[in-house]
């Protein structure tokens, strides 16, 4: 089925048919979603290395992940943790989509997966080897294990998908950009099916040290489950997370021809740049507002059509206020009718993977009519005055949702999703 953009160009409708998640509160979409509804925090003391000398000693780690569930032992040793997480989430998404790989035209199937930092654990380990044992001991797999595009490359190799295949790298907007790009590839007819989303595994000594030096993270070490508190007056920084969120997108025609179960629809997306500062958002969330307006325009809907906003909501002072101001700017009086939340209050900030796992939360919200809470929102910041679903699940029908992702460097991306309706929305 063909629709038309505001510029008159035809586009194919894009639907979601599969999802996979590896998160700090669950290693499948259903366990992750159950954890969100339960208000369960994934934060705790970092277990993977000694953090005794760090000002921040907490993070949201993926627990009980077995790399051998997605790769043979020899292969797993040749992959970074981020790549293994991407493969794990892709495996669930492909199973969820009930894809028959033997009947797909794999030249019409592609992969776009975002990551903000990529194989930093490999980089740190191999640099340590270089410094202590010399260049001859550096692994021949160092470069392919480290480079960011290998999350997409390995998923493509695993499934034999020969269509568009690349990575997006835009800090915390990486997977939102990946999803937006993948949808547009399908819209313009360059592929029938895309695996997309994001993966990140940055809970490493150097990464933690860098964010600590930037004073960007919470130091609530004695009470980690209370540390991520978006929009709360007493927030003191974000909590780092890791994981992967992967979706299967298809053209509506392709999905219907194979009898797929349709979980939702991608209506459109918007992007913008702040051109303001390397880490701080533009004042009043000006760039974020332009991203949301572009997404609404691309989707062919009005601001008043939106029911729900899954915010970037990082638990940082400037970020939370600027996003609130941006939402007010875009939605005006309708802001009072919106329901919003921050998934990061429970899973922490998955950096380049955030957009993928958060869009999955949007799809589940539309499916169930349940809006998960923003936990730890005990004393609302007066400057953050929207309905951020504090501490308790809200129930209401959600037809159209937007997911915001904003990254260091002034990268802004907004994805608009909707409950699937055969005759279309907008």
Catalytic residues: 172, 312, 349
Rounded Cα distance, 65 and 88, in Å: 9
Dig out the tokens for 195 from the structure.
């695996």
Query: CA 132 → CA 35, 40, 146, 205, distances in Å?
Result: 43, 42, 19, 17
Dig out the tokens for 298 from the structure.
């691309």
- Say which residues have a Cβ less than 8 Å from residue 13's Cβ, sequence separation at least 6: 1, 2, 3, 187, 251, 252, 265, 424
Check: CB of residue 178 under 8 Å from CB of residue 197.
yes
Check: CB of residue 194 under 8 Å from CB of residue 168.
no
Q: Radius of gyration of the chain from Cα atoms?
A: 20
Rounded Cα distance, 30 and 22, in Å: 11
Beta bridge partner(s), residue 198:
114, 245
Provide DSSP, 259-288: TPPP-EEEEEEEEEE--S-SSSPPGGGHHH
Rounded Cα distance, 358 and 245, in Å: 8
Residue in this structure with the two tokens 């991520």, named with its chain if needed:
228
- Say which residues have a Cβ less than 8 Å from residue 72's Cβ, sequence separation at least 6: none
Check: CB of residue 225 under 8 Å from CB of residue 346.
no
CA 184 to chain CA mean position, Å: 18
Q: Is 77 helix (H, G, I), strand (E, B) or coil?
A: coil
Check: CB of residue 22 under 8 Å from CB of residue 29.
no
Q: Is 367 helix (H, G, I), strand (E, B) or coil?
A: helix
Closest CA to 376 of 202, 231, 181: 231
- Expressed in angstroms, the distance from the first to the final Cα of the chain is 14
Q: Give per-residue burial for 68-81: e unless 16+ CB within 10 Å, then b.
A: eebbeeeebebbbb
- Say which residues have a Cβ less than 8 Å from residue 188's Cβ, sequence separation at least 6: 9, 11, 12
Rounded Cα distance, 198 and 200, in Å: 7
């Amino acid at each position: 089925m063909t629709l038309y953009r505001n510029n008159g160009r035809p586009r194919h409708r894009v639907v979601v048919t599969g999802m996979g998640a590896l998160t700090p509160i669950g290693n499948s979409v259903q366990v992750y979603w159950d954890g969100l509804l339960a208000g369960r925090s994934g934060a705790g003391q970092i277990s993977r290395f000694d953090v005794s000398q760090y000002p921040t000693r907490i993070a949201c780690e993926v627990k009980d992940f077995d790399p051998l569930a997605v790769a043979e032992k020899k292969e797993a040793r040749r992959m970074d943790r981020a790549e293994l997480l991407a493969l794990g989430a892709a495996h669930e998404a492909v199973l969820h989509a009930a894809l028959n790989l033997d009947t797909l035209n794999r030249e019409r199937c592609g992969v776009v997966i975002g990551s903000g930092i990529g194989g930093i654990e490999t980089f740190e380990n191999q640099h340590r080897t270089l410094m202590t044992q010399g260049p001859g001991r550096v692994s021949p797999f160092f470069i392919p294990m480290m480079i960011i595009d290998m999350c997409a490359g390995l998923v493509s190799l695993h499934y034999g998908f020969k269509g568009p295949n690349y990575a997006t790298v835009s800090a915390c907007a990486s997977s939102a950009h990946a999803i937006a790009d993948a949808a547009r590839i399908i819209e313009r007819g360059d592929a029938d099916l895309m695996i997309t989303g994001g993966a990140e595994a940055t809970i490493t000594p150097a990464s933690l040290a860098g964010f600590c030096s930037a004073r960007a993270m919470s130091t609530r070490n004695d009470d980690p489950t209370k540390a991520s508190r978006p929009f709360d007056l007493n927030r003191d920084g974000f909590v780092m997370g890791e994981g992967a969120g992967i979706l299967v997108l298809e053209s509506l025609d392709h999905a219907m021809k194979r009898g797929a179960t349709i979980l939702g629809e991608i209506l459109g997306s918007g992007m913008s740049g702040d051109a303001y500062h390397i880490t701080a958002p533009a004042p009043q969330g000006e760039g974020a507002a332009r991203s949301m307006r572009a997404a609404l325009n691309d989707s062919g809907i009005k601001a008043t059509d939106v029911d729900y906003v899954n915010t970037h909501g990082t638990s940082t002072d400037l970020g939370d206020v600027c996003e609130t101001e941006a939402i007010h700017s875009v939605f005006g009086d309708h802001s009072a009718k919106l329901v919003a939340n921050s998934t990061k209050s429970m899973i922490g900030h998955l950096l380049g993977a955030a957009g993928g796992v958060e869009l999955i939360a949007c799809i589940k919200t539309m499916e169930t009519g349940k809006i998960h809470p923003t936990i730890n929102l005990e004393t609302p910041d007066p400057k953050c005055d929207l309905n951020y679903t504090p501490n308790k699940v809200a129930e209401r029908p959600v037809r159209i949702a937007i997911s915001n992702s904003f990254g260091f460097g002034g990268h802004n991306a907004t994805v608009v999703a909707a409950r699937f309706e055969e005759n279309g929305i907008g």
